[in-house]
Amino acid sequence: MTVSVLVVDDQPLVRHAVRDILIDGGLVVAGEASNGLDAVRLTKTAAPDVVLMDIRMPEMDGIAATALICAQNDSAAQPRVLILTTFEEDENVVAALRAGASGFIGKGAEPDEIVRAVRTVHRGEALLSSTATRALIERSIRRGGSDPAVRWTTALALLTPRELEVLVLVAEGLANAEIAAGLTISPHTAKTHVNRIMSKVGARDRAQLVILAYETGLVVAGA
């Protein structure tokens, strides 16, 4: 399957290097942008499948751009956003995840890792399964970086006991097959539960389910 990518970074050398990595990996580069404003504009005209987004940029940063891209009314035109960051422990990454990003990867990653990451988020999966990523989310929440009452708390009341079980396992980084094995259900049933949870709470992907679980206290930071 052909996957098109918009590369967003304010440093030309980084953009060009990433563009070459993606092309060599069999992906299509739909365009390049040097700031968030251009990124938002190009998602509408170039219609990429994935936006590979830097955070710190002039005019509009990657967090604000991610929020605007993920808030587009036409869901069919909403690309997945993958944060490409120099500092993987930067708490701005968590802000980008809250804004709708599907995950993040460091600029120091190997070329094949970047290509795999793009394909992963394009499939609707989240790059949030590592211990380091969950630790980042936990640290942000401990420092008061969330306001669950505004967005998520009432959402949990919509879920069945089984769906709450599944949500906890998603937050722990388990894939559908692992969830199925743990709950003695089929992978298809696990996938159905995950999709139903996302629909009920208004989450666009698994990354937001992880944020929901931590911010509402369903999964306790550091537990």
Q: Cβ-count burial of 115 within 10 angstroms (0-12 exposed, 13-18 middle, 19+ buried)? A: buried
Instruction: Report the predicted TM-score, pTM, of the whole model to 2 decimal places.
Output: 0.75
Torsion from C-alpha of 50, 156, 154, 66, nearest 10 degrees: -10
Tens-digit pLDDT profile for residues 161-173: 999 999 999 888 7
What domains are defined for the chain? 4-127 (3.40.50.2300), 147-215 (1.10.10.10)
**Tell me, what's the pLDDT at 100?**
85
CA distance 204 to 216: 17
What SS3 class is residue 213?
helix
Distances (CA, A) of 91 to 21, 54, 107, 160, 166: 27, 14, 16, 32, 26
User: Rounded mean pLDDT of the chain?
Assistant: 84
Per residue of the chain (223 residues), give pLDDT as tens: 789 999 999 999 999 999 999 999 999 999 999 999 999 999 999 999 999 999 999 889 999 999 999 887 566 568 999 999 886 556 677 788 888 888 888 888 899 999 999 998 898 777 664 555 566 666 665 555 555 445 566 778 889 999 999 999 988 878 888 999 999 999 999 999 999 998 898 887 787 888 888 778 787 755 5
The residues pairing with 104 across neighbouring beta strands, listed in sequence order, are 83
Distances (CA, A) of 131 to 66, 127, 169: 24, 11, 14
**Tell me, what's the pLDDT at 149?**
46
**Tell me, what's the pLDDT at 98?**
80
Report whether 18 contacts 1 (CB < 8 A).
Answer: no
Tens-digit pLDDT profile for residues 24-35: 999 999 999 999
CA distance 213 to 141: 11
**Tell me, what's the pLDDT at 89?**
58
DSSP 88: T
DSSP 127: B
Alpha helices in the chain (DSSP H): 12-24, 36-45, 62-70, 92-99, 111-122, 131-142, 148-151, 153-156, 161-171, 176-183, 187-201, 206-215
What SS3 class is residue 50?
strand
Report whether 39 contacts 64 (CB < 8 A).
Answer: no
